[in-house]
Structure 1
């Protein structure tokens, strides 16, 4: 038999509350078991979500997060009871915690509630590609208790407080549909044949392999204005959902194809030009007229002879 008397060793005592070594060990054991159970359930839900579609994936993600929070809450309560706290004492602690929330933890509670709102409203989902008002663009990786993890195309992970996503302006590129239209601006020199420009731009769109050409989503060319040195056009293209999350590479692919198509059709790509007009003038500068006048006066004075009075 193992002597368990050491578990009854009293660590400290405050009033009627005393903490024993066995209680402290039980407290940490319960916390560890709670964390392990939560991780195992989340891993199971994630494995199941990968086998389902996007809609089922989002529902399973919400369920897994709620179960995660419930397990943490129940486990923490059980751990406190292992320390010897009674229900009435936990109620008093909850009241004190409520005061703390009202004073200093309101930001954390606001982010937690905002995270629940995001998940239940389905305004943001894991896998969505978003853009916030600051210009940050990236994919939603996780919606956590305090913040949402967004990963940019440069593989940079950024944590955005949930409250900012609820109160701020967020553009969700893939909320209702993964397919999106992009607008590619370009310009040609004045005097270019507009029909040839249109044909060349459509050929460029066709050369990019992820351009969609289904009815209602064919590439289109718009003439958008007259610039200082060029006629401005815009190529509108619908792309497959894999490319929606790669806007920089997408823009490069289409501009590359447009440049090749314009060169093949001998269409000039303009550069800024300025015409300088010079007018001749008969007005003298630097006082040349005055110098001529002074010279005339000097010549006249040289021809004056003194009067001798005779």
Structure 2
């Protein structure tokens, strides 16, 4: 840039704060550059080359993108590694247009520099295409909320500053701004790097944990409790490695964590006893396998439901009315727990009913047992339906039929209701009366005279 064509600040601007003076100098530098480009034939030729490169990229993208989309779309929806890889690559198709424009512009840059010995406009166009690629990445590809937040407030601002050639000034200002924190101090660039690198590493850790959990869950040969234990072990290992990698990248020595580790130990000894107890109880539960995901359990405190999740601190129960109950792991160790689903065992229920005193009670058991046995979910093992005489009531003779099913008589299953319907129909078809209470009223003395 020639000194004669450069714009300069007026004398009164010297009294302004340094950061404002630096900003005004950048604005004047940009204005000078724009004015030079507007009067330069080489700049206009580079602008024309940028337009041609972009139009060519649009044309190629229209022909290439649909073919790549068809190629990367699986024929059938499966969970195979190849199909998952193809779907993963298909996500990046929005980057095709800006990257093609960048590639064609890079080819034209060599020609322009050989002819005009200048390529500032071309270099600016390439940076703009990189900004468009970053924008497409954040807007169309990234779906994770945390990564999208990092992209909007870190990646896109840096890409915009880089497009206008201001990234060096921005990074210099961030590095020069020191934030004191007690006996420590750090600059804003370290803070941005800490957030960006830490967020990316732990997002990768979470993604790896999701993939490993899905892979372990598909191992049907493993016991459910063993699968849960393997999932927890993999989670601890993945996030432990992610933490060590993050500390290594940030240059933080692990020896500096000795004081923090000691503080955590003291906290565990005093304030975190319950958390440590629940964590150890959770490990014991997973090792023993006496209760696992999918089991219906009932605790001494009255909590009952299906185990839907086992965390490091608690077990999540879902009741039949859709509520979730958070039960600390320690309660499964120190209290009595009834497991209705352990090892797929059957459960016994009974349905009570009564018949009239005029009934031949010797015929009732066979009629009821045959009727209940017709239910599709009633089992013959360990025992077939069994009708028992329970007593002689005030209004009728009391019976109850016991039956076994694989499941719980609640929620989606209404075994007792179905069995009572079968009992009613069987008694009606056999002409057996189901009694209802009768009351006899006696008057002592003359009955009351009717009112006129």
TM-score, normalised relative to structure 1: 0.76
Matched, 1:252 2:420: no
1:45 aligned residue: 216
Matched, 1:168 2:335: yes
2:305 aligned residue: 138
2:436 aligned residue: 271
Q: CA deviation at 1:183?
A: 1.9
Q: Report the CA distance shift for 1:246/1:178 in structure 2 as closer, same or farther (over 3 A).
A: farther
Q: Is the 8 A contact 1:178 1:244 kept in 2?
A: no
The CA deviation string for residues 78-98 of structure 1, in whole angstroms up to 9 with x for no partner, is 435555543232121111112
* 2: CA distance, partners of 1:237 / 1:32: 52
1:213-232 alignment, distance < 5 Å: 213-214=380-381, 216-232=382-398
Q: Secondary structure at the match of 2:216?
A: helix
Q: Secondary structure at the match of 2:194?
A: helix
Q: Report the CA distance shift for 1:76/1:274 in structure 2 as closer, same or farther (over 3 A).
A: farther
2:378 aligned residue: 211
Q: CA deviation at 1:244?
A: 6.1
Q: CA deviation at 1:243?
A: 5.6
2:400 aligned residue: 234
5+ residue gaps, structure 2, are: 1-161, 447-452
Q: CA deviation at 1:77?
A: 4.4
Report the RMSD for the aligned CA atoms in angstroms. Answer: 2.9
Q: Is the 8 A contact 2:179 2:186 kept in 1?
A: yes
Q: Report the CA distance shift for 1:136/1:23 in structure 2 as closer, same or farther (over 3 A).
A: closer
* 2: CA distance, partners of 1:125 / 1:167: 17
Count of residues in Structure 1 that have an aligned counterpart in Structure 2: 275
Q: Secondary structure at the match of 1:145?
A: coil
Q: Secondary structure at the match of 1:176?
A: helix
Q: Secondary structure at the match of 1:207?
A: coil
1:15 aligned residue: 183
Compare the two structures and name the one with the higher helix fraction: 2
Matched, 1:117 2:298: no
Q: CA deviation at 1:237?
A: 1.0
2:347 aligned residue: 180
Q: Report the CA distance shift for 1:161/1:146 in structure 2 as closer, same or farther (over 3 A).
A: same
1:34-183 alignment, distance < 5 Å: 34-46=205-217, 48-49=218-219, 52-53=220-221, 55-80=222-247, 82-183=249-350
Q: CA deviation at 1:28?
A: 2.6
Q: Secondary structure at the match of 2:351?
A: strand
Q: Is the 8 A contact 1:203 1:261 kept in 2?
A: no
Q: Report the CA distance shift for 1:196/1:27 in structure 2 as closer, same or farther (over 3 A).
A: same
Q: Report the CA distance shift for 1:26/1:220 in structure 2 as closer, same or farther (over 3 A).
A: same
Identify which range, 81-90 or 230-239, moves more after superposition: 81-90
Q: Is the 8 A contact 1:189 1:269 kept in 2?
A: yes
Identify which range, 252-261 or 5-14, moves more after superposition: 5-14
Q: Is the 8 A contact 2:197 2:246 kept in 1?
A: yes
Identify which range, 198-207 or 1-10, moves more after superposition: 1-10
Q: Report the CA distance shift for 1:40/1:245 in structure 2 as closer, same or farther (over 3 A).
A: farther
Q: Is the 8 A contact 2:277 2:330 kept in 1?
A: yes
